[in-house]
């Protein structure tokens, strides 16, 4: 089982804190660090956050949300082996050409350690502020993923669609891995099974117990069969609420997970001490 830490870019007070968390994580056996993304947090919003009972995300408008790619670049410069993941970036509200270039550049400066966690988005007020239509964001997401992979190919890019008109150019650097930058699909709503099967190298699920994960593996297998894919080719990551100890981790593994992502806010008032204790009581025992 691999272990990640999330989010290293939210609620932080300094670059020293971002880098410090990450260096400690690397030193105690954490495999990866992950970010959350919101460009803005509205004072109030009608949109419903799909992963909480009250429909609200757990961040106030004054919360520091350091841009994920900038935060991960700083971490890349100060670590050696730590993998760097966005958990997730809102692809359908981004400029896909710019995001493709930024992702390839982060992959370049990190020596191939970047994973692009990709989501569709739920906060209409944020799309409005970004000047991007909220409507058809799913179709736009699907198109952007296909188009960005063309940018990373190193070949001449040709891509015309309802959303993009690209022709006759190349973009370098290209990803270090021949297979490209890993796309980690995020979420459990909408057409997620089809999107994971079609686009995903991995799937990051905001489920906090093995039973919830196990329920989702059957429809994932069916979606993979429809796409002609082996479901075992998709790496499963789950955010764990840190309940149940090693037995829970083994149950996650039995259900199909290969990465457990630990929330910093679950490590207690002193995350540094909490992470050290987690390494001693959990990571060292696995």
Q: What is the per-residue pLDDT for 165?
A: 98
Q: How far apart are the C-alpha atoms of 82 and 8, rounded to whole Å?
A: 13
Domains and CATH numbers, the chain: 39-240 (3.20.20.30)
The Cα angle at residue 246 between residues 241 and 251, in degrees rounded to 5: 80
Mean pLDDT value across residues 188-209: 95
Residue 182 pLDDT: 98
Q: DSSP string of 164-196?
A: -EEEEE--SSPPSSTT-SPEEEE-SSTTHHHHH
pLDDT digits (tens, 9 = 90+) for 17-74: 999 999 999 999 999 999 999 999 999 999 999 999 999 999 999 999 999 999 999 9
Confirm if 32 and 286 have CB atoms less than 8 A apart. no
Percent of the chain residues past pLDDT 70, beyond the cut: 100
81-106 pLDDT, tens digit per residue, is 999 999 999 999 999 999 999 999 99
pLDDT at 241: 87
Averaged pLDDT for residues 180-205: 96
Task: Please report where in the chains the tokens 């300094």 appear, as a residue.
Answer: 14
pLDDT over 90 at 208, yes or no: no
Residue 210 near residue 254 (C-beta atoms within 8 A): yes
Instruction: Give the Cα separation of 264 and 283 in Å (integer).
Output: 15
Rounded to whole angstroms, the Cα distance separating 243 from 167 reads 51
Tell me what percent of the chain is helix, strand and coil, each rounded to the nearest 5.
40, 15, 40
Is a pLDDT exceeding 90 seen at residue 286?
no
Q: Which residues pair with 166 in a beta bridge?
A: 159
pLDDT in tens, 124-156: 999 999 999 999 999 999 999 999 999 999 999
pTM beyond 0.95: the answer is: yes
């Amino acid at each position: 089982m691999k272990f990640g830490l999330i989010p290293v870019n939210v609620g932080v007070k300094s670059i020293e804190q971002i880098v410090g968390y990450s260096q400690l994580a690397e030193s105690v056996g954490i495999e990866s660090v992950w970010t959350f993304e919101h460009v803005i947090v509205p004072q109030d919003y009608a949109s419903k956050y799909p992963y909480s009972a009250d429909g609200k995300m757990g961040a106030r408008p004054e919360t520091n949300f350091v841009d994920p790619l900038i935060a991960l670049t700083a971490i890349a410069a100060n670590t050696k082996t730590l993998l760097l993941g966005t958990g997730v970036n809102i692809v359908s509200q981004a400029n896909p050409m710019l995001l493709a270039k930024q992702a390839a550049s982060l992959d370049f400066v990190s020596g191939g350690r970047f994973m692009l966690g990709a989501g569709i988005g739920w906060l209409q007020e944020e799309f409005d502020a970004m000047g991007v239509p909220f409507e058809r964001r799913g179709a736009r997401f699907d198109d952007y993923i296909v188009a960005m992979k063309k940018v990373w190919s190193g070949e001449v890019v040709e891509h015309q669609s309802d959303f993009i008109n690209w022709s006759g150019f190349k973009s370098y650097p290209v990803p270090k891995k021949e297979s490209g930058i890993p796309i980690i699909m995020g979420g459990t709503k909408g057409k997620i099974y089809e999107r994971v099967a079609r686009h995903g190298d991995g799937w990051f699920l905001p489920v906090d117990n093995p039973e919830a994960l196990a329920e989702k593996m059957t429809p994932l297998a069916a979606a993979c069969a429809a796409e002609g894919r082996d479901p075992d080719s998709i790496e499963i990551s789950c955010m764990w609420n840190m309940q149940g100890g090693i037995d829970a981790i083994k149950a996650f593994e039995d259900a199909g997970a290969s990465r457990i992502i630990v929330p910093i806010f679950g490590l207690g008032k002193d995350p540094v001490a909490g992470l050290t204790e987690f390494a001693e009581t959990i990571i060292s025992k696995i």
